[in-house]
Chains A and B, each alone.
Chain A
Amino acid sequence: MICISLSADYVRFSQLAKIADDYSIETVQKKVLTSPFIPSNLTNPQLAADLENIFQQIRADLPLPDRYAALTLPAEWFDLNHQALETGLNRDDTGAALDWGATKRLGQTADEKFIQYYPLYKKSSVDQEYLTVSYFKQLGKLLLNASQAAGFEVHIMDINLFSAAYALERLEAIGKGEKWAVWLVDEPRHSLMVVDSGEYRQLVHFEISDSENYSMIAASSPDDIGEKVVAAINNIRTFASDSLSGIDRLYYYAQNVDSGFFNMLLTYDIDNMKIIDPFEKFKPKDLYQADGDGIGAMCQFIDLMGLMYRKIPESAE
């Protein structure tokens, strides 16, 4: 399986193979995009050409011939929100009600988007919560064209924070009752996802604009659970603290490992704020190390590890 993680400026990829009874990460590498992979660049032909080119390079660099591909993309490409519905509706009615809600919210752009609904926790004894994820069909076509040019077949597409969270679930023994979050550090825009008692709760985007303040850009639900964590993060910049309040654990990682803010965070010593080496259980045969071989450099591949864990049973760890 070829796993590909796209970020604004880079494409990271890995290859997972099952050899006899062992799972093996054949390679983990990184390539630079010349045209940024950001939503405002979606219709730029240069981006399409760049992606095609990079996917073909990836194919050429694979240690073993392969076609089966899994992608993970930045959360900013997706629109996420929550809808609550009464329980007891049949599947068709539920689908229709969710469609109606999504169309009301998205308006005319609903026709230009792929929309999916994932059942979440029960909000109350009568309401069922759903996560609505939508993205422009144009994005699907862009990736499809690039994949086809390289002869890849895309079977899985995920959002980077969800991939990273899944890797963390597998790497860390996180208790079922814990509230934890994963934070993608980027400047100036950051993303954070909160998981509560093993359930996805919220995804937020925020900016840390100056030395003291933050601003919330978007949240997938009106819940304030994400903002509480952001406020706690903001506090540690100015107040010395041994631990973060409002959350049991906070994991962070960055895709731009040269970020000054990220490198500052690496020097912090806070009990419940952690950074994880994604390869502590499975060592790749061939690992990209041009950014260094420390945990700060390795963490950039955590979403790739999340994709790979989708195919690795716990019994193989």
Chain B
Amino acid sequence: MIRLNLTNIPGLQEEEISPQFDLEGLVLEQPVQEAAETPAAEEVEVVKPRPSETPPAVPEVDEDLFKLAEANLDLIEQAEKEEFGPIEKEQAEKLEKGEAVRRRSIRPVLRYTFYLILVAAIVYGVWAYRQGMFSKKDIKQVASRTEQTITDEADKILDKTVDIVDDLAEKEESLVSEAVQQPTARLPAGQMIIQPTERYYGASQINDDFIYRVYQGQQRLQVCTDVLASFPSNSQLQYIRVKDDKVSFILYVANEAQAQQIKSSILSNNRFLPPEVYFVERSNKFANNPVEIMAIVKFGIPPCEDQKGYKYFNDLQLSQHIWQAGLNSSVSMEPLQISSRDNAVARQAGLTGTGSTNNVVQFLSELGTIRDNMEVSVISITNTFNKNILETQLNYNLNTILYPAKL
């Protein structure tokens, strides 16, 4: 007998009922604290990475920043700029990271060398004094010579360090400018956009299957920011949700022309397929924005060609990493909730918080650039106030999956 699902898209439904019983919704999430408190709960199975069986489906790409100042510019031009804008930021961020890592590795050498010299000088001084080798005058001369030696050595090491850092900075700068200068012409319609590949990542610390899933999550974040950026600044958002290869939203705009403009912006972006649903109708919910848009749009994800540099972070490192991204973007954030302590398997985690539209977009963009072991599987964003998108605060809710390190 037929089985209805009225949450499916409108129109003709599939004839065959799949005999498969999917497990979606039966594998439950559990905060770490609760897992510790209730022994029975530890038995709850967490989401296993759907094994390597089939390569994950279609989804698609890209990232951008929500630029309020450009809100009234032509949306197509804006989308083109946004597709490539973040590359510069991403590379700059990597440059900063690289520099910081090198500084961290050089500083301890400098520090320990200094301590060694100092200790050796003091020991020698005490020994010589006891042997009666120095008069008070001699001691002063030795102390003065030792001080001079230490200062000279320290200066030399500092000079070397500065030179090394400068060299590195120059090299990285040239890499960044090369990447930014790559052609930004749009690809023909229907062809996926593939971001320029970067080659200075190290070996990945998670399995290839997981890398692809993390990569899909990055694309979902970028799609979400893309769509948010296409909304006019005077519009009012009810929600936007990205799951699998679909983005859906309900938005209130001032007139039908704006609704059409948003649709055109989506259609002109070749990562999106033509909307499955794009209802535009009059609504009396908001006086300033009497036109309601309800949309469901599929997107594609290009192949993951660069699988390097996906780092494994333990739970603490990952939480700190995300927390830092939140601080950088000025969004408020609840602590990362992780379903289980067992980091040998894939686990669900949840991330929620609040921020202005601008800040939430920046936060999602930042998360989308990090090559880590976390897949963002579902993004839900809802509006907290009945204000336009410029003035409101958005609640974000990310369902994620944390993958184990490569054995």
Contact = CB atoms under 8 A, between A and B. Distances in A.
A165 B7 CA distance: 19
A65 to B, nearest CB: 5
Given A64-B28, A117-B11, A133 B6 contact: yes
A91 B279 CA distance: 21
B4 A158 contact: yes
A64, A144, A162: which has the most chain B beta carbons within 10 Å?
A64
Interface stretch (A108-116, A223-231, A244-252): A108-116
Contacts, number: 120
Contact of B25 (A20, A98, A158, A311): A311
Given A18-B45, A311-B23, A313-B21, A200 B1 contact: yes
Interface stretch (A6-14, A149-157, A233-241): A149-157
Given A116-B11, A119-B13, A200-B2, A68 B24 contact: yes
A114 B27 CA distance: 30
Contacts of B136: none
B41 interface: yes
A137 interface: yes
A18 B26 contact: yes
B252 to A, nearest CB: 12
B10 A115 contact: yes
A65 B29 CA distance: 6
A17 B29 contact: no
B208 interface: no
Nearest to B13: A118
B22 interface: yes
Interface in A118-148: 118-120, 130-131, 133, 135, 137, 141, 144, 148
The B contact surface, by secondary structure, is: loop
Interface in B1-46: 1-8, 10-13, 15, 21-31, 34, 41, 43-45
B30 A20 contact: no
Interface string A56-84: 00000000111111100000001000000
Given A64-B44, A98-B12, A120 B2 contact: yes
A153 B397 CA distance: 12
A148 B41 contact: no
B13 A116 contact: yes
Contacts of B212: none
Contact of B4 (A17, A115, A118, A311): A118
A16 to B, nearest CB: 6
A116 B1 contact: no
B323 interface: no
B378 interface: yes
A260 interface: no
B345 interface: no
A65 B30 CA distance: 6
B281 interface: yes
B76 interface: no
Contacts of B3: 158, 162, 166, 310
A91 B11 CA distance: 11
B1 A20 contact: no
B17 to A, nearest CB: 10
B24 A153 contact: no
B386 to A, nearest CB: 13
Contact of B13 (A114, A117, A144, A169): A117
15 contacts: A16-B26, A17-B28, A18-B45, A66-B28, A68-B25, A94-B12, A95-B11, A98-B12, A115-B10, A148-B382, A153-B378, A156-B5, A162-B4, A310-B3, A311-B25
Interface of B: 1-8, 10-13, 15, 21-31, 34, 41, 43-45, 239, 250, 279, 281, 294, 378, 380, 382, 397, 399
Given A64-B41, A99-B11, A200-B2, 6 more contacts: A1-B26, A65-B34, A67-B399, A70-B25, A95-B11, A130-B12
Q: Which 8 A-B pairs have the closest CB atoms?
A: A68-B25, A1-B25, A18-B26, A157-B6, A313-B21, A95-B12, A64-B28, A119-B15
